[in-house]
Structure 1
Amino acid sequence: MNVADFGDRYRERIWETHIAEDFERDVVAGFAAARKAIPSKYLYDALGSALFEAIVLLPEYELPRRESALLERYVGEIVERAQGRLRLLELGSGSSQKTRTLIEAAIERYGAVEYTALDISLDAVRNAAVQLLDHYPNVTVRALVGDYFQVLGEVAPQPATLALFLGSNLGNYPGERGVEFLRAVRGALAPADMLLLGVDLRKDRALMERAYNDAIGVTAAFSKNVLARVNRDLGAKIDIGNFKHSSVFDERTGSVESYLVAIRAASYSLGGARKAVQFAVGERIHIESSHKFTHDELQRLADACGFVERGFFTDEESAFALVLLERGENATKKS
C-alpha cells in the first residue's frame, strides 16, 4: 500500500533541497572554525534516525514518555481550547506516532481532521501518511517536504489551525535561533491560530545529563554516526574510534551541550583536495544544543514572537511541559 492508493485524501508538495552541497559546506566550515562544530540536523541520516528511535526507548531518556503522558492527560482540554480547529500542522512530523492522541481527540470533537505534516524526509512523511490514512477514514493528509524555514516562508496561513512542535525540538534552537524559528511559525499562522509546544524544563543537573549519557551507549553511537556520514559522503578518513561522546549541562547557556571529543591528537583528510583537519588532545566538535527552559523564559520568548500563552501543562515533578500558545494580532516585538 502507498499514498497513491488514497486518492485525493493525500496531497504533497516538495521543495527543492541541496542537502549534499549544504552538508559539504557546513562540515568544511565547521571544522575550520575556532570551535569545531557540525550542525545537529546532520545527525539524522537513515542510520541516525533509526538510532534516535532506539534512544526514545532508553530508561534514561524520559522525555518522550513524559510528553505522551501529558498529551493523554490534557488532550481534551487542548483540543477544546483550540475551538473549531480542524487542521493539525505538525513541524518535524517524522513517524507521526505521538500525534495520534491529538488526531483521535480532534476526530471525536469535530468529526474530521486535515493533518499537515512538515518534514525534511519524504520517505518518513509518506510512510506515516499511509498508516494514518489507512487507520483513520476521517483524516486527510497534506505533506510539505523541505527545510522548516523554506517551507514556512511560502505557506499561506489557513485559519482554524493547531500547529504542533513536540519532542522538545524547540530546545535545538537556542537563543536568537529560537526567536527566528517561532516568528517563522507565526508567519504561517492566521490570527487566533494555536501552537502547541512540547518542552523539556530545567531540573536537577544530574537528571538532565543522564538523559544524554545512557549506560549502553546508544546516544554515543548516534553522535559518532555523524562522523561516519562525513567519511561516507565526503570521502574523509576520520578515525571514529578516536572520539568519545560527551554531554554536559552548561549553566551559562542553559543547555545540555553535546560534543565528540578527540582522545588523541590527529590529522585527518576530509577527502579530495579539501584541507586536512587537525585535532588536539581533548579538542571537541560541538554537535547539538538541547536547551532546558524555565516557565518565565518561555513566556518571554512567546511574547517576543507575537504569541500569547493560553495553557501551561506540566507533570508532578515539573520536568516537562506542554505549552499552548495563541498567535496574537499585534506585530512581533524586536528583541
Structure 2
Amino acid sequence: MTEPVLDVHLTPEDAALALRAEALAGLTAPAKWVSPKWFYDAVGSDLFEDITRLPEYYPTRAEREILEARSTEIATVTGARALVELGSGSSEKTRLLLDALRAHGTLAEFVPLDVSSSALVDAARSILESYPGLRVHGVVGDFTEHLGLLPGASPRLVAFLGGTIGNLVPDERAKFLTSLRDVLAPGEWLLLGTDLVKDPDVLVRAYDDAQGVTAEFNRNVLHVINRELDADFDTSAFRHVALWNPDAEWIEMRLRAAHPTRAHVGALGIDVEFARDEDLRTEVSAKFRRDGVARELASAGFTLHSWWTDTQSRFALSLSQATP
C-alpha cells in the first residue's frame, strides 16, 4: 500500500488562531455562541459516532438507506472520475459511492477533505487498503475557505453528506454553494445530503437522546475551549438544551447556565459571565424542503437533476449539476 498524497492548507496553528478569533467574537456577543466546528476533537468525534448509532438519531441510517438504493444510479449518471468528499470524517458511507463508481469503471481518484489531519490520514489509509490502485489525495482544510484548492480529475462528483450544510445559516449556505459552483467546471456534480422538516418531537429527540450522549457531546465544546484557550468553564454548570425554531426551521443546540457562573479565558484575557438560564448557542441544524433546496441550488448556479428520500421521507439526497 502506498501512502496517500496530502495537501495541508489548514495547520494546527491556523486552527488555533481561528478558534481564538471565533471564541472572542462569540463569547463577547450579546447572545453568546460558539461554532459547532469545535465539537470535533478526538473525544467529540468519538461521541458523534456514538450519536449516529442511537435509536433517536435517524439521519445517518436514512442517508445510508438512500445511498444503498441509489449509488449505482449516481455512478451511471455522473460518470465521475474523481469523488470529492467534504468533511470526510471516517468516509464510511462514501464507500457505497466508491464501490458504485469503481463498478461503473470511471473511478480514478478519491479526494477527502477534513479539518483534522489525523482523521484524514487514518481514513485515507483505510480507503487505500480497500481499493488497491485508487489514487487518494487528501486535503486538510476547511470547506468554507479552501474549496478553490480542491484537486481531482474532471468530471468530479462532490459529496457533502450528513446534513452538514444545515449547520450553516442561510447567508453562509449561499456563500458556500456559490463558492463551490465557482470551482466546478460546467457539468460537474454535487451530491448534497439534507435533513427534512418533520414532526418537531422527532427532531428534538434526535438532538436530545434519552441516554444523554448528545448532551455530553454538546458540553465537550467547553472542554475544548478549556484545553485550547486556557479557560476554566465549569461544564457541570451547563444543561444541554435542544429547541425547534419553527420560524427558521432549524434545531438549536444550546448550553444553558443552571446558575450564575463565570469563566476566565486565559488565552483571550477575558472573563465570561452567565446569568442563570442564560444560553450559549453551540449549533443550528437547519431542516429543508425540496423547493427550498432547489431554489438555493439554482441561485448558486446548479441545476437539480435528481431528488431522493428514504422510505419514510425523513432525509433527502439531491444530485445537481453545475450549470454551464
Report the TM-score range of the alignment, normalised by the length of the smaller protein. over 0.9
8 Å CA contact 2:81, 2:153 repeated in 1: no
CA apart distance, 1:273: 7.0
What is the percentage of aligned positions where both structures have the same residue?
37
Closer/same/farther in 2, CA of residues 289 and 146 from structure 1, 3 Å limit:
same
Q: Does 1:185 align with 2:180?
A: yes
Tell me the C-alpha RMSD between the 2 structures. Answer: 1.5
Cα distance in 2 between the residues matched to 1:250 and 1:53? 25
Give the one of 136, 140, 162 matched to 2:131.
136
CA apart distance, 1:217: 0.5
Structure 2 residue aligned with 1:333: none
Structure 2 residue aligned with 1:248: 243
CA apart distance, 1:132: 1.1
Structure 2 residue aligned with 1:332: none
Structure 2 residue aligned with 1:89: 84
Q: How many corresponding residue pairs? A: 322
Structure 2 residue aligned with 1:44: 40
CA apart distance, 1:146: 1.2
What is the TM-score of this pair, normalised by structure 2?
A: 0.96
Structure 2 residue aligned with 1:230: 225
Cα distance in 1 between the residues matched to 2:106 and 2:226? 50
For residue 30 of structure 2, give the secondary structure of its aligned residue in structure 1.
coil
Structure 2 unmatched ranges of 5 or more: none
Closer/same/farther in 2, CA of residues 145 and 178 from structure 1, 3 Å limit:
same
Amino acid at match of 1:306: G
Cα distance in 2 between the residues matched to 1:138 and 1:106? 14
Structure 1 residue aligned with 2:257: 262
Cα distance in 1 between the residues matched to 2:264 and 2:128? 47
8 Å CA contact 1:64, 1:167 repeated in 2: yes
Give the one of 6, 11, 17 matched to 1:12.
6
8 Å CA contact 2:229, 2:268 repeated in 1: no
Structure 1 unmatched ranges of 5 or more: 330-335
Deviates more, 1:124-133 or 1:12-21: 12-21
Cα deviations by residue, 1:267-300 (Å, 9 ceiling, x for unpaired): 2222267221111110000000100000010011
Cα distance in 2 between the residues matched to 1:272 and 1:191? 46
Give the one of 65, 72, 77 matched to 2:68.
72
Q: Does 1:100 align with 2:95?
A: yes
Cα deviations by residue, 1:188-207 (Å, 9 ceiling, x for unpaired): 21110010011100000100
Cα distance in 2 between the residues matched to 1:222 and 1:36? 18
* Structure 1: 4+ residue segments shifted above 3 A: 154-158
Amino acid at match of 2:36: S
Q: Does 1:113 align with 2:108?
A: yes
Structure 1 residue aligned with 2:53: 57
Give the one of 319, 326, 332 matched to 2:321.
326
Cα deviations by residue, 1:231-282 (Å, 9 ceiling, x for unpaired): 1122212111110000111011110011000000122222267221111110
Amino acid at match of 2:285: S
Q: Does 1:208 align with 2:203?
A: yes
For residue 325 of structure 1, give the secondary structure of its aligned residue in structure 2.
strand
8 Å CA contact 2:195, 2:314 repeated in 1: yes
Cα deviations by residue, 1:82-101 (Å, 9 ceiling, x for unpaired): 1x321101111111111000
Cα distance in 1 between the residues matched to 2:253 and 2:195? 16
